Amino acid sequence: MVKGDEFRIRIYEKVEGTGGVKKVVCQFTLQGVQSEVFVSPSLVLMNGWDMSLQKVSGADGAFDASIRKIA
């Protein structure tokens, strides 16, 4: 990322009994040059989940990512 870039990360979980409706559990905004690797806090997600990365401003970019599950 460079100066002027802004991206929004959202983590969703399915809400039981709603036919699969997903609600935002948490969201983070990354702006400008990043000097550290982004790591979200640990989350307990039970009913199915999803994650999105949305460009708010700046240039398109390619990102490496990993999602890890602890059993």
pLDDT tens digits, residue range 3-42?
999 999 999 999 888 888 999 999 999 999 988 888 888 8
Domain that holds residue 45: 6-57
Query: For residue 30, is it within any domain?
Result: yes
d(CA 50, CA 47): 10
- Return the pLDDT at 6: 95
pLDDT at 71 over 70: no
pLDDT band at 70 (very low <50, low <70, confident <90, very high): confident
Nearest-angstrom CA–CA distance, 32 and 4: 5
How crowded is the C-beta side of 64, counted as CA atoms within 13 Å? 1
Predicted model pTM: 0.81
Alpha-carbon separation of residue 14 from 4, 46, 60 (angstroms): 33, 8, 29
What's the total number of domains in the chain? 1
Examine residue 67 and state whether it is found in any structural domain, yes or no. no
Q: Give pLDDT, residue 18.
A: 81
The verdict on residue 49 lying in a domain is: yes
